[in-house]
Every structure is written in structure tokens, then in C-alpha cells.
């Protein structure tokens, strides 16, 4: 076939599902990779499996990594997820939902799979504008990882191939991400973004992730097809 393979990091959320659609559109055979890292919102793995199947990926792998052993984040411990914060609050400092070195760990595991598959392309849905204060979502971080990847592997070392970390969303607003995904036929009703969903996968509508998502849909002038636990009233101002 000669179809190029790409490893796509997939959480089952709005951003990574959009990235998967971009990789498909660019002609890649997609190997979707999700992580069971002790997240409290484990239901996202069911969403990831469904969106991967809907996108027709070659394979969807779920790798267990035991980040809970380290503690240190509201996403993997009993620390409450903050609710109802303003955009200004979100813009200051690193939030408690930060998982230590998460994107470094996830990209490293994507690199391990890419090397096994002899794939030279990795896609990740990081976003520097609406990034909610995470240091490992910045362009400098991605560039440093790409440099590392090319020193770390047989591919970068012996085979003369070059590994590329694709970040198609890095300069987009949430509104632009929603518009991009809709133009590629993404069904956002199958995705989940919430840090604190119900047992059936209904979003809370109040955590940072929900608020950023709802703002994106509101600005795009589109109703978010995801299921929320409450009636959500949202202003773009």
C-alpha cells in the first residue's frame, strides 16, 4: 500500500478527536493511542474507543501507565476539580488539574509505538492559546521533544528518517478547532472533554475543560451536541 502510518494521541476529547480527523484527511493510516493513567475521568477511554472506531483507525491501543503512584494532581487523586473559574483565573498559574510531566510521558510512549511501527509521524492536540496554563503545551516544548525523538531512536539515528511531531491545533482558538472539526465531519456528540463527568459520561459544564469547550461552541455559533448534567447557560463575554 505504501500508506504512511501515524500515531495519534487520543483522549476522546474535542481536541484529540479533531486532530485524528486532520491526520486522516492528510492521508495517514491512523494508530490511535490512549492512556489508562489512573485518571478519575476514566470514562473518557470508552469515548476514545468509540471515536477511534468511527474514524476507522488501523488500531486503537490503550496503554496502562501507573501515574497514580506518584500523586500530585487533581486528575489522579481526591483533590476536587475547580469549578466555575473565569478565563482570567484560568490564565494565571498552573492549575491543580495539571498531571506531572503528562505530555512528556504520553509523547514518549507514542514515540515507543512509532518506532515499533516504523512510523515517523506523531499527532498531538496541544493548544497554546486556550492552553489553560500547562507548560507542556507550548511550541518550545514540542520542538524540544521533536529534537529529543530524533536523537532517541534508531530511526533518527541510523535510518536517516526524521520524526515529526504534528500539532495542527497549536495556534488555533477553541472556536477555530470546533469549526475545523465540523468541516471534517467530526461528530462532537461522541467526544468528552469534562474533568468531572458522571458515571454515564454526562459533562459537568463547570470545570475549566467544559467552560473552554462551551466557549468555543458558543463563539462558533453552534450548539455543543455533548450531554451535560445540567442546563448550561453560557455567555461568550
Residues that bind a second copy (CB under 8 A): 61, 63-67, 69-72, 93-94, 98-105, 107-109, 111-113, 115-116, 135-136, 138, 140-141, 144-145, 147-149, 151-154, 156-158
Residue closest to 192 by CA, chosen among 70, 72, 31, 42 = 42
End-to-end CA distance of the chain: 50
Q: Which CB sits closer to a second copy, 105 or 190?
A: 105
Taking the least distance from each CB to a second copy, the nearer of 54 and 148 is 148
Our CA dihedral for 46, 37, 33, 158, rounded to 10 degrees, sits at: -170
Residue 131 C-alpha cell reads as: 492552553
Nearest distance, CB of residue 132 and a second copy, angstroms: 13
Owner of C-alpha cell 470546533: 178
The helix-helix angle for 139-152 and 102-117 (nearest 10°) equals 40
- Ramachandran angles phi, psi of 35, nearest 5°: -125, 135
**Minimum gap (Å) between residue 145 Cβ and a second copy:** 6
Of 84 and 100, nearer to a second copy (C-beta) is: 100
Nearer to a second copy by Cβ, of 125 and 216: the residue is 125
Cβ(190)–Cβ(54) under 8 Å?
Answer: yes
Of the pair 88, 233, the CB lying nearest a second copy is at 88
User: 207: which 3 cell numbers?
Assistant: 470545570
CB of 35 to a second copy, least distance (A): 10
- Min separation Cβ 105 and a second copy, Å: 4
Residue with the three cell numbers 475545523:
180
Amino acid at each position: 500500500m505504501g500508506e504512511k502510518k501515524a500515531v495519534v494521541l487520543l483522549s476522546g476529547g474535542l481536541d484529540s478527536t479533531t486532530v485524528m480527523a486532520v491526520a486522516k484527511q492528510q492521508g495517514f493510516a491512523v494508530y490511535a493511542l490512549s492512556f489508562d493513567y489512573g485518571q478519575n475521568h476514566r470514562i473518557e477511554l470508552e469515548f476514545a474507543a468509540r471515536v477511534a472506531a468511527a474514524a476507522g483507525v488501523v488500531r486503537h491501543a490503550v496503554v496502562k501507565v501507573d501515574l497514580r503512584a506518584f500523586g500530585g494532581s487533581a486528575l489522579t487523586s481526591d483533590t476536587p476539580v475547580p469549578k466555575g473559574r473565569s478565563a482570567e483565573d484560568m490564565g494565571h498559574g498552573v492549575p491543580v488539574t495539571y498531571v506531572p510531566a503528562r505530555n512528556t510521558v504520553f509523547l514518549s510512549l507514542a514515540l515507543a509505538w512509532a518506532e515499533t511501527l516504523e512510523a515517523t509521524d506523531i499527532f498531538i492536540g496541544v493548544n497554546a492559546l486556550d492552553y489553560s496554563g500547562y507548560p507542556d503545551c507550548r511550541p518550545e516544548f514540542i520542538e524540544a521533544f521533536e529534537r529529543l525523538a530524533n536523537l532517541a531512536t534508531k530511526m533518527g539515528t541510523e535510518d536517516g528518517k526524521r520524526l515529526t511531531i504534528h500539532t495542527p491545533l497549536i495556534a488555533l482558538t477553541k472556536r477555530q478547532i470546533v469549526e475545523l472539526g465540523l468541516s471534517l465531519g467530526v461528530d462532537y456528540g461522541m467526544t468528552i472533554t469534562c474533568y468531572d463527568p458522571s458515571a454515564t459520561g454526562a459533562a459537568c459544564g463547570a470545570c475549566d475543560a467544559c467552560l473552554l469547550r462551551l466557549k468555543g461552541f458558543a463563539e462558533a455559533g453552534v450548539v455543543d451536541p455533548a450531554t451535560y448534567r445540567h442546563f448550561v447557560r453560557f455567555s461568550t463575554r
